[in-house]
A and B are shown apart, each in its own frame.
Chain A
């Protein structure tokens, strides 16, 4: 059974994380160095998050439909995304296993991987604050 019951839950937790990161005074400038637009396409439940991380434009996060044109598309189960943000997915292994698929200049995203470690505890805390410790423990 999938961790999230519908797309709204995906947006409520993973989407909110992206929104928070986009205005994080420490992390946002680092992410914007990627200078790209990434779209995360999730299955089970079907959902989509598009994130603009451009050096010369304001960060933007669209939950669901978007008019942004993504340069990189990452496709995965929503469960895989959830586990990633809990720090429990090795991206290189997930790509090799086909748990994550990447289209476009993937190196732009891979270089962010070392930067996201401080985000893992933030995500756990965010879930705990929302009363969803079950989502922390289930993965």
Chain B
């Protein structure tokens, strides 16, 4: 990364970088009929007796019965099923899942669900392996390591994920975001051993996904890919993943939502979401997320919906930040068949309008005001956005006034 004389970090939006790190240790299997072979695949990761982590809604669809059959058919035992993960998972669910896994004599975890279920399983695995309370592990790269904490981190019990939404990409990420209900906050735990060993992408797992959730989670994946590609922490590895994710989203998102019986479209969206999270492993993200997090924290706006609303405004804001930023959006426009000529603002506006069109086609809300965010909340939302970790890696640094203006536009 280039430094200016006053010590500020200049942004470098192209060329050879001084440093970046790309990590993708999760084995991904994608295709049809994989649920039937779950045990066969997971046994290759050392699983012998599996604790299945899920929620009551997913269990109610009958998917867990198929999962258990698939685990057993591969010669792996099912130690037990924990279906107590709430929609916004919390420390209590993490502890309960870890405790049940211990009591059932499990030696591995299988998460079947969306981001909340997968994150619960990741942190439950930490507690299961190392003990302690969930908040004790809050932070980055803080799991026990060899050589007095400076060497290789110790392994956790094998974790496999079968995502039932196509959005978060948590099945190949190393972070867990969990709610502390007593403190009214969400906390994050992230370290290399938390990368799942195995991710299974089978469209059968999203067959019963309601279209509104498929739409919102799909927009989350699109936001990951676009923000990841245009972040100041972009990387060539992340670019490759982000652009292929966008190709798949271009061809499959609306299809998957409007024709839910289309297995190919749903399967491709699982792959798109899986690819789109890769840049975030390099910290490549941006302020659509910084704007969305406070809206979720204060007004329970679903994350994918908030991203869908905020993303077009952020694109227009960032594209006006300089030709080096606009050129990155130009790449995306080319991939999507949009305007690639013209000035920076034209490029940004063309992409923003495209995103707005997709959001409308998906039937999602287009205004924060439609999802319960009042204008009076702007100051507290701005404070949250300014303090969000995603802000410092956005290509253009927003002021408080600019954040307020973005919220005003999104309202």
Bound: A95/B397 CA distance, A:
20
Bound: A124/B389 CA distance, A:
27
Chain B residues with CB below 8 A from A88, complex form: 3, 7
A:107-122 near B, CB below 8 Å: 107-108, 110-111, 113-114, 117, 120-121
B139 in contact with A106 (CB, 8 Å):
yes
Residue A96 CB within 8 A of the other chain: yes
Chain B residues with CB below 8 A from A106, complex form: 138-140, 188, 389
Bound: A103/B188 CA distance, A:
10
Residue B204 CB within 8 A of the other chain: no
Bound: A103/B61 CA distance, A:
39
Residue B104 CB within 8 A of the other chain: no
A:97-136 near B, CB below 8 Å: 97-98, 101-108, 110-111, 113-114, 117, 120-121, 124
Chain A residues with CB below 8 A from B3, complex form: 87-88
Chain A residues with CB below 8 A from B387, complex form: 107-108, 110-111
Residue B386 CB within 8 A of the other chain: yes
Bound: A117/B149 CA distance, A:
30
Bound: A90/B233 CA distance, A:
10
Chain A residues with CB below 8 A from B388, complex form: 107, 111
Bound: A65/B139 CA distance, A:
23
A83, closest chain B residue (CB)? B7
Residue B21 CB within 8 A of the other chain: yes
Chain A residues with CB below 8 A from B139, complex form: 72-73, 101-104, 106
A73, closest chain B residue (CB)? B139
Chain B residues with CB below 8 A from A111, complex form: 386-389, 391
| In-complex Cβ contact of B138 among A87, A103, A120 (8 A) | A103
Q: How far is the CB of A11 from chain B (nearest CB, A)?
A: 22
B:2-50 near A, CB below 8 Å: 3, 6-9, 19-21
Chain B residues with CB below 8 A from A87, complex form: 3, 6-9
B397 in contact with A114 (CB, 8 Å):
yes
| In-complex Cβ contact of B282 among A91, A96, A102 (8 A) | A96
Residue B217 CB within 8 A of the other chain: no
- Residues 218-237 of B, flagged 1 when their CB comes within 8 A of A and 0 if not, give 00000000000000010000
Residue B392 CB within 8 A of the other chain: yes
Bound: A103/B190 CA distance, A:
10
Bound: A113/B391 CA distance, A:
10
Which of B's residues lie within 8 Å of A, judged by CB? 1, 3, 6-9, 19-21, 138-142, 149, 185, 187-188, 233, 282-283, 386-389, 391-393, 397
4 other contacts beyond A73-B139, A107-B389, A111-B386, with CB at 8 A cut-off?
Answer: A87-B9, A92-B233, A103-B139, A111-B388
**Could you list 25 A-B pairs, sorted by A, with CB under 8 Å?**
A87-B6, A87-B7, A87-B9, A90-B1, A90-B9, A92-B233, A92-B393, A93-B1, A93-B283, A95-B141, A96-B21, A97-B19, A98-B141, A101-B139, A101-B149, A102-B140, A102-B141, A102-B142, A105-B138, A105-B187, A106-B139, A106-B140, A108-B387, A110-B389, A114-B392
